Amino acid sequence: MLNLDDLETCTAQEVLARAAAEFGTQLGLASSFGLEDMVLIDMASKLETPLTLFTLDTGRLHEETYETMEKVRTRYGMEIKTFFPDREAVEALVRDKGFYSFRESVDNRKECCRIRKVEPLTRALKGFKGWVTGMRREQNVTRTDILKAQPDEGNPGLIKFNPLADWTEAQVLEYIEANKVPTNPLHKRNYPSIGCSPCTRPIEPGEDIRAGRWWWENPEHKECGLHRPR
């Protein structure tokens, strides 16, 4: 039985290994194939106990993201379980509000995220006992108090693991370099955080690493609903 408090002093590899040993394929690794997620995929590929890798395809991802997904399939030989949004919900949203309603208000943006990401995540998590994310405390003001392991308030009954919670950006890049981890080509074009194509832009020198996500909104709103602040 895992003691979540004990995991706070463990390394990222130890957190991931102990979670996988506890739950096996009932542990899901959620990936959008950004830098942190690629670090976790590389770590997961070295585990004795396999877990389940999954992703949410919103229908509006960058071409480079799909290319990165293929790199994961070929290099690591890992199956990627892909979940899409409900077709009728997307069709209704676009028909009633157009293709860029998410730029009109925070409520509209959250509605789009709910349809394209939150609802598919709910389906993706069915049958799991825990799931893993690449969130780090220094990424945004909404993430400063995340723990390495905690009950998931947004998905009762599940444990949420954030093995990289205390990592810095420099540590992420050092791991990628040392282990020759493949990455999304957009990162070399000043995209440190990559989401849907219409909602992601490159950042300018000195900007926060998530400044390119929903750049028309204030920082405290920059979550899509997948991760509820504690």
Measured distance CA(104)–CA(109) in Å, rounded:
8
User: How much is the pTM?
Assistant: 0.89
Q: What is the mean pLDDT of residues 8-14?
A: 97
How many CB atoms within 10 Å of residue 105?
11
224 annotated active-site: yes
The answer, yes or no, to whether residue 222 has pLDDT greater than 60, is no
Helices (H) and strands (E) in the chain, counts: 8, 6
Among the listed residues 112, 113, 199, 224, the single catalytic one is 224
The predicted pLDDT at position 229 comes to 47
Q: How confident is residue 209, by pLDDT bands cut at 50, 70 and 90?
A: confident
The answer, yes or no, to whether residue 106 has pLDDT greater than 60, is yes
Between 230 and 71, name the one with better pLDDT: 71
Domains and CATH numbers, the chain: 4-221 (3.40.50.620)
Q: How confident is residue 230, by pLDDT bands cut at 50, 70 and 90?
A: very low
The answer, yes or no, to whether residue 114 has pLDDT greater than 70, is yes
3-state secondary structure of 164: coil
